[in-house]
Amino acid sequence: MKDYVIRQYIDKTIVINIKEAEEIYEFSDVSKIIIDNINNKNLTLKLLKNKYKNISKDIIENDYNNFINQLNDLKITPNNIEKKIISNNIYSIKNATIEIINTCPFKCDHCFVSNKKEILNLENFQNLINQLIKLDYNEILITGGEPFLHNSFVDIYLSAKKNGFLVTINTNGYLLNEMLLNLFIEYKPRNIELSIYGYDNKSYYNFTHTKRAFNIINNNIDKLIDYSINLNLKTVLTKKNKNYLYKLKSYAKEKNLPFRYDYIIFPNQDNICQNMQRCTPDEIIKVLKEDNDSTTFFKEKIKNINIKNTIDNHVFQCSINSGRIYISSNLDIRPCLVVPFKYNLKEISIEDACNKFEKIPEKYIYRSDNKCMNCNKKSLCRYCPGKFYMETGSLTNVPNFYCELADKLIKEFK
């Protein structure tokens, strides 16, 4: 229980003692239930009493009150946990994205996932967990493909949760069933990031080539909402949904759920190429102009662009190797999804791979004639050497798309 609280929320030097709980409850279960339902005292006590029927209600309520009092003393609430950790530098947030399977029931035309089928088995996942614990990682994003398609998903998820990680799941929501729903009710994820691709069965079929998908997913979204599972909706802008993207935003608004979309989509991982479903800069601008939020965002962003050229000769100007890693279902490890530098964890440890990644920023320096080096539009073009490499095979050969997009954003929203 101490590890669960300390690893996720509180300074590692602080010790939470709930003596009664430590003596009679299973490891971490009390704190897990309380934190997962911290806004709902009645539900928390009900879950505790149902789980520990042989323990008196008085003891359970006393332990609950002790725990809450200690969190209150530390001024920790559900709304300020992450802000408190980051602002006080209590410990760094370190995130590992783990692809457990790269197949999916959908056949979306824009999908960038490799066609080579790979599945990460439970034993390898648990080995990753053990390494991440030693390296003080706090968060895990479980992704795919479609992670619910993995036969051992329940055991994989519980392995991460019971070792104290904040767990987020990327899913399309199509395969959610009662077993998984009950799992998330008892062991709540930090968040479920659910990708939506249509507003009715017809639009979903056109996008995913799967019949009746909208009815199934809409019903599953309602179930997650009913049980207060943290849920965000997201999508990608493609040529197929560019004319109804804001119907998806309206759908999310009706459900009172956060919604976001991305207009930069990746090529297939098997080839150096352009994703043919990516919208042109003009098509992207047209969509952005229809949205007041986007219009406000880009006007403010462009207003604050540094007028003077800031020279930075490093090819990588992002937070590469700053406590974030990506591990694929074949055990390749990268600093992130899109960069071409990788090692296989059958041959190297996570720690050794990360030590090698640390040398990347200083190793890759621009030539003096590179047009990106002193360009002040990088925040608009979504500058990323990894994305450039996926299209051109070069970290510094920038596709015209990115420069054209930045210029048109400035012209439209200045």
Q: What is the pLDDT of residues 130-177, one digit of tens each?
A: 999 889 888 899 999 999 999 999 999 999 988 878 899 999 999 999
Predicted pLDDT at 164? 77
Provide the residue type at 356 as one letter. Answer: K
Q: Do 263 and 121 share a structural domain?
A: yes
Q: Do 148 and 265 share a structural domain?
A: yes
Helix-, strand-, coil-residue percentages of the chain, each rounded to 5: 45, 10, 45
Count of alpha carbons within 13 angstroms of residue 74, beta-carbon side: 23
Last residue of a domain, one of 231, 249, 279: 279
* CA nearest to 13, candidates 68, 89, 72, 82: 89
pLDDT at 122 over 50: yes
Q: What is the mean pLDDT of the chain?
A: 84
- Alpha carbon distance 386, 267 (integer Å): 11
Mean pLDDT of 369-383: 85
- Segment among 21-25, 149-153, 174-178, 388-392 with least mean pLDDT: 21-25
Query: Domain for residue 45, yes or no?
Result: yes
Last residue of a domain, one of 57, 87, 117: 87
Query: Domain for residue 384, yes or no?
Result: no
* CA nearest to 374, candidates 285, 307, 324, 329: 307
Predicted pLDDT at 8? 44
Predicted pLDDT at 16? 35
Please tell me which residue, 206 or 47, carries the higher pLDDT value: 206
- Alpha carbon distance 241, 261 (integer Å): 11
Predicted pLDDT at 414? 85
Q: Do 232 and 137 share a structural domain?
A: yes
Q: Do 111 and 82 share a structural domain?
A: no
Q: Do 99 and 219 share a structural domain?
A: yes
Q: Do 194 and 228 share a structural domain?
A: yes
* CA nearest to 387, candidates 292, 264, 285: 264
Q: Do 254 and 127 share a structural domain?
A: yes
Taking the model in full, what pTM does it have?
0.80
Q: Do 123 and 272 share a structural domain?
A: yes
Please tell me which residue, 271 or 207, carries the higher pLDDT value: 207
Q: The CATH number of the domain where 251 resides is what? A: 3.20.20.70
Q: Do 213 and 172 share a structural domain?
A: yes
Please give the structure tokens belonging to residue 23.
């003596």
Please tell me which residue, 307 or 400, carries the higher pLDDT value: 400
**What is the full DSSP assignment across 344-369?**
ETTTS-HHHHHHHHTTHHHH-B--TT
- Helix/strand/coil for 5: helix
Query: Domain for residue 223, yes or no?
Result: yes
- Alpha carbon distance 112, 99 (integer Å): 13
Last residue of a domain, one of 224, 244, 279: 279
Cβ–Cβ < 8 Å for 215, 200: no
Task: Give the number of domains in the chain.
Answer: 2
Predicted pLDDT at 50? 78
* CA nearest to 111, candidates 193, 207, 194: 207
Mean pLDDT of 183-189: 90
Mean pLDDT of 192-205: 97
User: What is each CA distance from 296 to 33, 172, 303, in whole angstroms?
Assistant: 40, 29, 11
Q: Do 114 and 242 share a structural domain?
A: yes
Q: What is the pLDDT of residues 58-95, one digit of tens each?
A: 877 877 777 777 667 666 665 565 555 444 444 457 89
Q: Do 108 and 151 share a structural domain?
A: yes
pLDDT at 15 over 50: no
Predicted pLDDT at 36? 65
Q: What is the pLDDT of residues 404-413, one digit of tens each?
A: 999 999 999 9
Please tell me which residue, 50 or 309, carries the higher pLDDT value: 50
- Expressed as residue numbers, the domain containing 179 is 95-279
Between the CA atoms of 21, 27, 33 and 36, what dihedral angle is there, to the nearest 10 degrees? 130
Query: Domain for residue 313, yes or no?
Result: no
Q: Using alpha carbons only, give the angle 129, 16, 11 rounded to the nearest 5 degrees.
A: 65
Please give the structure tokens belonging to residue 157.
């998820």
